[in-house]
Amino acid sequence: MTSSEMNVDEGEDPSEFEGGAYWFRQGAKGAFCLPTLILMMAFVGFTSLAREVGLTLVEVLLMSLLMWALPSIVVLTGAMSAGAGLIPAAIAVALSAVRLMPMTVALMPVLRDEKRTKTWQMLFVSHFVAVTAWVFAMRNLPSLPRAARLPFFAGFGSTVHFVVLCSTALSYMVLPALEGPIAAGLVLLTPIYFMFSMYQASRTSGDKAALILGLILGPIFYHFFPGADLLLTGFVGGTVAFVGWLFATRRAEL
Amino acid sequence: MSEIYGSWWWPYVMILVAGFLATECWRWIGVFASGKLREDSLLFAWVRAVATALIAGIIARLVLFPDGVLGDVPIWLRLAAVAGGVVGYKLLNDRLMAGIVSAEFVLIGGWAFLI
B4 Cβ under 8 Å from any chain A Cβ: no
Task: Mark whether A163 and A250 lie in a shared domain.
Answer: no
Interface test with A, best of B5, B10, B34 (most A CBs within 10 A): B34
A162 shares a domain with A211 = no
Quickly state the pLDDT bin for A252 (edges 50, 70, 90).
low
Total number of domains constituting chain B? 1
If you measure CA to CA, which chain B residue comes closest to A231?
A: B54
The verdict on pTM exceeding 0.80 is: no
Q: Judge: A55–B11 Cβ closer than 8 Å, yes or no.
A: yes
Q: Pick the residue from chain A with its C-alpha nearest to B55.
A: A96
Determine what percent of chain A is predicted with pLDDT higher than 70.
89
Q: Are residues A47 and A159 in the same domain?
A: yes
Q: Which domain holds residue B91?
A: 67-115
Same domain, A237 and A189: no
Is residue A148 located within the same domain as residue A248?
Answer: no
What pLDDT score was predicted for residue A126? 94
Encode chain A in three state secondary structure. Answer: CCHHHHHHHCCCCCCHHHHHHHHHHHHHHHCCCHHHHHHHHHHHHHHHHHHHHCCCHHHHHHHHHHHCCHHHHHHHHHHHHCCCCHHHHHHHHHHHCCCHHHHHHHHHHHHCCHHHCCHHHHHHHHHHCCHHHHHHHHHHHHHCCHHHHHHHHHHHHHHHHHHHHHHHHHHHHHHHHCCHHHHHHHHHHHHHHHHHHHHHHCCCHHHHHHHHHHHHHHHHHHHHCCCCHHHHHHHHHHHHHHHHHHHHHHHHHC
Nearest to A207 by CA among B59, B72, B50, B96: B50
Q: Closest approach of chain A CAs to the CA of B35, in angstroms?
A: 8
At A254, the pLDDT band (50, 70, 90 cuts) reads low
In B, minimum Cα distance to A232 occurs at B54
Note whether A219 and A125 are same-domain residues. Answer: no
Looking at the domain assignment, is residue B33 inside a domain?
no
Asked if A157 and A246 sit in the same domain, the reply is no
Residue B75 has a pLDDT of 94
Do A81 and A139 reside in the same domain of the chain? Answer: yes
Domain of A58? 3-201
Average pLDDT over residues A49-68: 90
The stretches of B35-74 forming alpha helices (DSSP H) are 42-64, 69-72
**CB nearest A214 (choices: B21, B53, B63):** B53
- Higher per-residue pLDDT: A38 or B89: B89
Asked if the structure places residue B1 within a domain, the reply is no
Q: What value does the mean pLDDT take over residues A176-183?
A: 74
Q: Which residues of A touch B8 (CB under 8 A)?
A: none
CB nearest to A101's CB, from B21, B33, B53: B33
Q: Are residues A17 and A53 in the same domain?
A: yes
Per-residue pLDDT tens digits for A137-146: 877 888 888 8
* Residue A207 in this model has a pLDDT that exceeds 80: yes
Calculate mean pLDDT across residues B104-109: 94
Residue A20 sits in the same domain as residue A87: yes
Q: What pLDDT is stored for residue A11 in this prediction? A: 44
Residue B43 touches chain A, beta carbons under 8 Å: no
Of the residues A186, A201, A216, the one at which a domain ends: A201
CB contact under 8 A, B34 and A230: no
The model's pLDDT over A107-129, given as tens digits with 9 standing for 90+, comes to 887 888 777 888 899 999 999 99
